[in-house]
Amino acid sequence: MRRLLLSYAQDLNDAYPGHEFSIWSEGQLLGFFNEALCLIAAHRPDMFTELKVVRVEPCSNYLDLCDCEKVLDVLGQSNAKGNNIRPIQRRKERATVWTGSKKKQEFTDRITEYELLDKSNLVRVFPQNLDPTKDIYVVVRCSISPKTYALDDEAPDERCAFLAAARHWVLYNAKMIDGEFSQTMQSQAKEHREMFTAILQMVKQADDQYDEKLRGLTIRQR
């Protein structure tokens, strides 16, 4: 992390050899960096994710992922080790509640679709007649809280856009401190904040177009 923080100090003209971090301490810049990660996660939860293998409960078509901060999508049906068996299509319209049928149902162990229920971490899978005697698993992509970094930690090797956005947030905060006494610093700080937001929006648009092209999913309006 110290090398990354030194690069921030260089951007701030605060890295004269032997007198690095004279104006903004390493601790200050690190605090701004960790703050940036939290903000990025709030705007783009898909930048901090992990995969979970979840078993479909017998006689239930719902997955309750209480240990998942937010369910982003279901990548496919899998075995217990998470090896992908087949993809699952996301439903484009909300399904009606199934009340059962008086006719004898033929069970299946093949999931064909899934639905994310808004404002909850519940996932519903289809068809309704999944075989309760079979172990059926899916791989779910969840958002997680970003790591809080310490000075001795290795710097993250995440996506370039992730680090580019964080850099602008760090510079924004640092220059806002000096902006109390300088109109120039205030103006520069505003530009960094605008760049922070612009980078996240630009990357989101690119990711949405990529998902739409490769997966054929309806892009949600956010």
Is residue 17 classed exposed, middle or buried when 0-12, 13-18 and 19+ CB atoms within 10 A define those classes? exposed
Asked if 122 and 169 sit in the same domain, the reply is: no
CA–CA distances in Å: residue 197 to residues 30, 36, 63, 167, 171: 20, 11, 34, 12, 13
Q: Does 178 score more than 90 pLDDT?
A: no
Q: What is the pLDDT of residue 216?
A: 44
Task: Say how far apart CA 132 and CA 2 lie, in whole Å.
Answer: 54
Residue 149 inside a domain? The answer is no
Asked if 74 and 92 sit in the same domain, the reply is: yes
Asked if 111 and 178 sit in the same domain, the reply is: no
Asked if 19 and 98 sit in the same domain, the reply is: no
Residue 194 inside a domain? The answer is yes
Question: Given 98, 113, 143, which residue is the final one in a domain?
Answer: 143
Tokens 């605090």 found at: 31
Asked if 123 and 192 sit in the same domain, the reply is: no
Asked if 27 and 53 sit in the same domain, the reply is: no
**Max avg pLDDT among 24-28, 40-44, 115-119, 212-216:** 24-28
Residue 10 inside a domain? The answer is yes
Give this prediction's pTM. Answer: 0.76
Question: Given 88, 118, 143, which residue is the final one in a domain?
Answer: 143
Q: What is the pLDDT of residue 104?
A: 60
Residue 176 inside a domain? The answer is yes
Question: Given 99, 120, 143, which residue is the final one in a domain?
Answer: 143
CA proximity to 49, closest of 80, 71, 76: 71
Tokens 């783009």 found at: 44
Write the pLDDT tens digit of every residue in 62-115: 887 877 888 888 989 999 998 877 899 988 766 555 545 545 668 998 999 999
What are the tokens at 107? Answer: 């069970």
Asked if 54 and 115 sit in the same domain, the reply is: yes
Asked if 89 and 168 sit in the same domain, the reply is: no
Residue 221 inside a domain? The answer is no
Q: What is the pLDDT of residue 217?
A: 39
Asked if 129 and 208 sit in the same domain, the reply is: no
Residue 175 inside a domain? The answer is yes
Asked if 114 and 81 sit in the same domain, the reply is: yes
Q: What is the pLDDT of residue 219?
A: 31
Instruction: Indicate the number of domains in the chain.
Output: 2
Asked if 61 and 90 sit in the same domain, the reply is: yes
Tokens 């999913």 found at: 217
Residue 222 inside a domain? The answer is no
Is residue 141 classed exposed, middle or buried when 0-12, 13-18 and 19+ CB atoms within 10 A define those classes? middle
> 36: helix, coil or strand?
helix
Asked if 78 and 39 sit in the same domain, the reply is: no
The domain of 102 spans 49-143
